[in-house]
Structure 1
Amino acid sequence: MNYIVSIIGRPNVGKSTLFNRLVGRRKAIVHMTSGVTRDRIYGNSEWNGVKFSVIDTGGFSVSNHNALEKEIQNQIFMAIRESDVILFLVDMKIGILDEDREIAQILRKCQKTILLIVNKVDNVKSIHSNTDFFRLGFEKYHYISAINGSGTGELLDELIEIFEHKLLKKKEEKYEFLPRFSIIGRPNVGKSTLINSFLNKNHHIVTNISGTTRDSLDVFYKKWEYECILVDTPGVRKKSKIKDNIEFYSVMRTLKTIKYADVCFLMVDANRGWEKQDINIFRLVEKNNKGIIILVNKWDLFDKRNFCTQKDYEFIIRKKISPFDNVPIIFISAKNQDGIHNILPIAYQVLKSRKNRLKTNILNKIMLPILKKNPPTTNKKNKYITIKYCTQLPSCTPKFIFFSNYPQYIKESYKRFIENKIRFHFDFIGSPIQIFFRKK
């Protein structure tokens, strides 16, 4: 990534001198006469192994409006637009002029990273005696002498820090739009093993000791048409089983990754079965309106003497998670890589279902006859409840609103009935559904 730094300032503040200092040779003409530099001059610089480009510009004259000065200004504005960082150069010996203030006002509007560079600083005493430059309102500043190089090392160090920060930010922005799949579950169910199997290498430490993973770890994954972020998380124990502060904060990080996930892979140990802690984690995902897939791991080690088939095992889980029971359940062996190739295609299917938007006329055409045939019941006398209209809300997760004459009397059981009917007729596999009732 080649970053660009431009040097901006009024005439004769030492821009070309600083440019030559940064590029390491006399490429720009330096003269006491102002206005020698007119066009943009490009040069290459390197510091601590990082390469970047430097642009020298003509003197920024705000007051003069002749044809030449206007062209110089156009060249300066072009340099500003190209730049990642702007070095705003001022003269220590002359102090702040009205032109400096006007240039500062223009630069603040350009939304670039700006460093105020106070040039021609001969000694430390002069720094303490002149604090007028703080009035220009720039947070980051450097005192330098471009002609002898003092202070330019610190300036270059900060430039490299800025470049690294920008690079990190660009990577985060690139990954920001990728789907996030968090692997969650009790301790020692095989979450890190699954990550290693996806990557075909020992990316994460795996041991038989529960609690080996202490932090949530993001991994970029790209294979075939699938590109996503896989998040390994610490195991979630019952509150009573959490022994120390480190484990407490590990669990808190897992809960945070659920909040920022698109789809959660809830891993279950086949031999331990679907326990109370599994249903607690499942309900937590549902409460956060995240997509979910249940992965029954270590199926190769499952004791077949239990006479329990995959279909039986699946029935038990679905019964316990009802009414949100149209959740994909995949039987895998993370260690042997059995069944893991099915996970990502189904995860993308769940991701798609979360974004599924139903047309209002189709939703009403399907749902209203069902609700008319099976109206809500109430304990109140002379209260016949009807639902007149329904629509899906324009939200990032499936939310539906039903308009009724007496919404306050509709019971929770009827909400579950509606959810089951929506799931039966429409594709919301692995996605929690929220239902609201409002007065018509």
Structure 2
Amino acid sequence: MLGPLVAIVGAPNVGKSTLFNRMVGKRDAIVTRQPGVTRDRLYGEVNRDPLRFRLVDTGGMTPNTAAPFAAEIMQQAITAIGEAGVLIFVLDGRVGATAIDRDVATLLRKSNRPIVLVANKIDTEKHEILVHELHELGLGEPLPLSAEHGRGMNELYERLETHLENAPEQEDETAIDPPLRVAIVGRPNVGKSSLLNRLVGEQRVMVSDIPGTTRDAIDTLLTVGERRYLLIDTAGIRRPGRVREHVERYSVMRAKTNIERCDAAVLVLDATDGIAAQDTHIAGYIHDAYKPLVVAVNKWDLIEGREKHAKKWEEDVRERLRFAKKAPMVLISALTGQRALKILDLVDTVHAAGSIRVGTSELNRWLEQAAASQKQAGKQAFRVYYATQTGVLPPRFAIFCNDPDKAHFSVKRYLENSLRDRFGFGASPIRMQFRSRRGEDR
């Protein structure tokens, strides 16, 4: 069991994400003074003996307004409220209850969920007098708290413990069989969130025509038959020179971090825009992280004469995405669903290839044959002696030789390609470490 779910809700810029980070013990949510940074639902876990529960951060709720993304953010927050067993309603204690806070309070009363009313940004005792007016909301005793400094956190946990005793627990769907972690990456506005929503079958992530809508990395569990995936929707990665906002810079850093933690990456391209230089850079990030890659060319439904353009796209990907020459490619439409599920089949294929183990005797028979075709003349020639596989995902090999410094790039490339073809590693990245018998590595 995962434990019950607690949702943090409230108006924009009252410190919800700061409180979320304080409770989960790490900086999962982006925090800034700019209102409206959190837009989707962001989940984390809180382990504080004897409490154990899941926590969800939501975007700033603005009922009855027509601000950009307001309706989408409200829908995400309402979904989180429906999932949760307990609500933490956060207000800015120094400002008092605003008209938006009162509208949110009205909505929360209808949820029939236990509510902990938190007056945030009360950094010192002298500010506590400001919270008394919050009694007018009729949601119980307001709790003075400073999420930034940790003040009042013990009392918050005490109140939560009282409510959580009767809150329903959630099943831990990942405990028995860990899902395959799939990062969906690409430039802004290529359709990453639309693809995730198509795969999941619900509006899990906000979709907009405005580039840069997704700020945090959002994890979504997906089950297809007996296959299980944890889909990670990431912020669009722009060229460094075009990343202006501090928030966006942090989003890009988080996107790269999520490439590091995934089992496979799906690079989404825009069929209407061609391959951009930044696409090649993102493919390079995936390559440097040694992650299996699937290339998904989105918005294929918008291309006229699709059949004649298909081969051209294949050629362009192989030629221009030099880090993705062997990666499988699929032409999709997140809007219509065309071939969207094919992505998961390809992810399974590249992940399975990266899981292959080769016996030591079979590996050394290959090495002997490969070395024989790469004979070098002269006394100081590079020679290989034997090899062993040291790991999988990615497949890792230690190759013992006379001198790692003499392992020329062309020899390494030849051995990697030969190894890939011989044992069926396909598009999986391979790590080869050359070692001397004296223990020196390269």
TM-score, L = length of structure 2: 0.59
Aligned to 1:158: 161
Q: Distance in 1 between matches of 2:191 and 2:336?
A: 11
Task: Tell me how far 1:339 sits from its aligned partner.
Answer: 0.8
Q: Residues 331-346 of structure 1 correspond to what in structure 2 (within 5 A)? A: 331-346=331-346
Residue 184 of structure 2 aligns to a residue whose secondary structure is strand
Task: Tell me how far 1:321 sits from its aligned partner.
Answer: 4.2
Structure 1 gaps of 5+ residues are 4-48, 51-139, 143-153
Aligned to 2:190: 189
Q: Residues 61-210 of structure 1 correspond to what in structure 2 (within 5 A)? A: 158=161, 160=163, 173=175, 177-210=178-211
Q: Distance in 2 between matches of 1:411 and 1:2?
A: 51
The 1:305–1:172 alpha-carbon spacing in structure 2 relative to 1, beyond 3 Å, is closer
Per-residue CA deviation, residues 366-418 of structure 1 (Å, 9 max, x unaligned), is 232122211368xxx74122212122113542111211112211112221121
CA contact (8 A) 2:384 2:401 kept: yes
Per-residue CA deviation, residues 14-57 of structure 1 (Å, 9 max, x unaligned), is xxxxxxxxxxxxxxxxxxxxxxxxxxxxxxxxxxx99xxxxxxx
Aligned to 1:439: 436
CA contact (8 A) 1:214 1:250 kept: yes
Task: Tell me how far 1:428 sits from its aligned partner.
Answer: 1.8
Per-residue CA deviation, residues 141-191 of structure 1 (Å, 9 max, x unaligned), is 99xxxxxxxxxxx978536558979969x56756x8211111000001111
Per-residue CA deviation, residues 281-336 of structure 1 (Å, 9 max, x unaligned), is 111112112121111111222354995433x3223322344576321111111111
Aligned to 1:423: 420
Q: Kindly provide the amino acid, as one letter, of the partner of residue 369 in structure 2.
A: P
Aligned to 1:227: 228
Q: Residues 257-406 of structure 1 correspond to what in structure 2 (within 5 A)? A: 257-304=258-305, 308-310=309-311, 312-322=312-322, 325-375=325-375, 382-406=379-403
The 1:278–1:306 alpha-carbon spacing in structure 2 relative to 1, beyond 3 Å, is same
Residue 391 of structure 1 aligns to a residue whose secondary structure is strand
Q: Distance in 1 between matches of 2:422 and 2:223?
A: 34
Q: Distance in 2 between matches of 1:247 and 1:323?
A: 25
Per-residue CA deviation, residues 106-156 of structure 1 (Å, 9 max, x unaligned), is xxxxxxxxxxxxxxxxxxxxxxxxxxxxxxxxxx999xxxxxxxxxxx978
Q: Distance in 2 between matches of 1:330 and 1:184?
A: 15
Aligned to 1:254: 255
The 1:376–1:179 alpha-carbon spacing in structure 2 relative to 1, beyond 3 Å, is farther
Indicate the percent of aligned positions where both proteins have the same amino acid. Answer: 30
Q: Kindly provide the amino acid, as one letter, of the partner of residue 426 in structure 1.
A: F
Task: Tell me how far 1:423 sits from its aligned partner.
Answer: 1.7
Q: Kindly provide the amino acid, as one letter, of the partner of residue 399 in structure 2.
A: F
Task: Tell me how far 1:272 sits from its aligned partner.
Answer: 2.1
Q: Distance in 2 between matches of 1:222 and 1:229?
A: 9
Residue 393 of structure 1 aligns to a residue whose secondary structure is strand
The 1:384–1:314 alpha-carbon spacing in structure 2 relative to 1, beyond 3 Å, is same
Q: Tell me which of the two structures has the higher relative contact order, counting C-alpha pairs closer than 8 angstroms and 6 or more residues apart.
A: 2
Per-residue CA deviation, residues 76-135 of structure 1 (Å, 9 max, x unaligned), is xxxxxxxxxxxxxxxxxxxxxxxxxxxxxxxxxxxxxxxxxxxxxxxxxxxxxxxxxxxx
Q: Distance in 2 between matches of 1:396 and 1:288?
A: 11
Q: Residues 25-64 of structure 1 correspond to what in structure 2 (within 5 A)? A: none
The 1:166–1:200 alpha-carbon spacing in structure 2 relative to 1, beyond 3 Å, is closer
Aligned to 2:136: none
Provide the alpha-carbon RMSD of the alignment.
Answer: 3.4
Q: Distance in 1 between matches of 2:417 and 2:367?
A: 11
Residue 230 of structure 2 aligns to a residue whose secondary structure is strand
The 1:172–1:258 alpha-carbon spacing in structure 2 relative to 1, beyond 3 Å, is same
Q: Distance in 2 between matches of 1:2 and 1:274?
A: 42
Task: Tell me how far 1:276 sits from its aligned partner.
Answer: 1.8
Task: Tell me how far 1:225 sits from its aligned partner.
Answer: 2.1
Per-residue CA deviation, residues 256-283 of structure 1 (Å, 9 max, x unaligned), is 1111111110001123222221111111
Aligned length: 291
Residue 438 of structure 1 aligns to a residue whose secondary structure is strand
Task: Tell me how far 1:430 sits from its aligned partner.
Answer: 3.2
The 1:172–1:435 alpha-carbon spacing in structure 2 relative to 1, beyond 3 Å, is same
Q: Kindly provide the amino acid, as one letter, of the partner of residue 227 in structure 1.
A: R
The 1:391–1:249 alpha-carbon spacing in structure 2 relative to 1, beyond 3 Å, is same
The 1:250–1:224 alpha-carbon spacing in structure 2 relative to 1, beyond 3 Å, is same
Residue 368 of structure 1 aligns to a residue whose secondary structure is helix
Per-residue CA deviation, residues 209-251 of structure 1 (Å, 9 max, x unaligned), is 1111111111111122222111111100000011211111111
Larger radius of gyration: 1
Q: Distance in 2 between matches of 1:283 and 1:2?
A: 36
Residue 241 of structure 2 aligns to a residue whose secondary structure is helix
Q: Distance in 2 between matches of 1:351 and 1:284?
A: 18
Aligned to 1:137: none
The 1:193–1:167 alpha-carbon spacing in structure 2 relative to 1, beyond 3 Å, is closer
Aligned to 1:60: none
Aligned to 1:407: 404
- Mean Cα displacement is larger for which, 349-358 or 185-194? 349-358
Residue 278 of structure 1 aligns to a residue whose secondary structure is helix
CA contact (8 A) 2:357 2:392 kept: no
Q: Distance in 2 between matches of 1:211 and 1:173?
A: 33
CA contact (8 A) 2:217 2:258 kept: yes
CA contact (8 A) 2:2 2:169 kept: no
Q: Distance in 2 between matches of 1:223 and 1:171?
A: 13
Q: Distance in 2 between matches of 1:363 and 1:419?
A: 12
